[in-house]
């Protein structure tokens, strides 16, 4: 027989609050079959590089 997943709204609320206090923007929350809670922030992509600041130096002498 299968057993019902036991989790509370307070557990989900704590997980979301922890992610938000870490500076993440929560996009979705998933409760997995084993009872664990997964918070998706969508921040898995590397940060974008501002092309205005990403100038390439021609030689070591350009680093003053």
| Assigned domain for 20 exists | yes
- In which residue are the tokens 């704590």 written? 14
Tokens matching residue 27 = 């996009």
The rounded distance, in Å, linking the Cα atoms of 32 and 7 is 10
Residue 22 lies in domain: 1-42
Q: Closest by alpha carbon to 11, among 37, 39, 40, 41? A: 37
Quick: pLDDT tens for 6-63. 788 999 999 999 999 998 889 999 998 888 899 998 766 555 555 555 555 555 565 5
- Identify whether 34 is part of a domain: yes
The whole-model pTM stands at 0.57
Task: Please indicate, yes or no, if residue 22 is contained in any of the structural domains.
Answer: yes
Please give the pLDDT value at position 21.
92
In a domain, 47, yes or no: no
How many structural domains is the chain composed of?
A: 1
**Residue 21 resides in a domain:** yes
């Amino acid at each position: 027989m299968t057993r019902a997943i036991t989790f509370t709204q307070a557990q989900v609320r704590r997980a979301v609050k922890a992610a938000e206090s870490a500076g993440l923007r929560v996009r979705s929350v998933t409760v997995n079959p084993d009872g664990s809670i997964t918070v998706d922030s969508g921040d898995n992509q590397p940060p974008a590089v501002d092309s205005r600041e990403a100038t390439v130096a021609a030689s070591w002498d350009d680093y003053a």
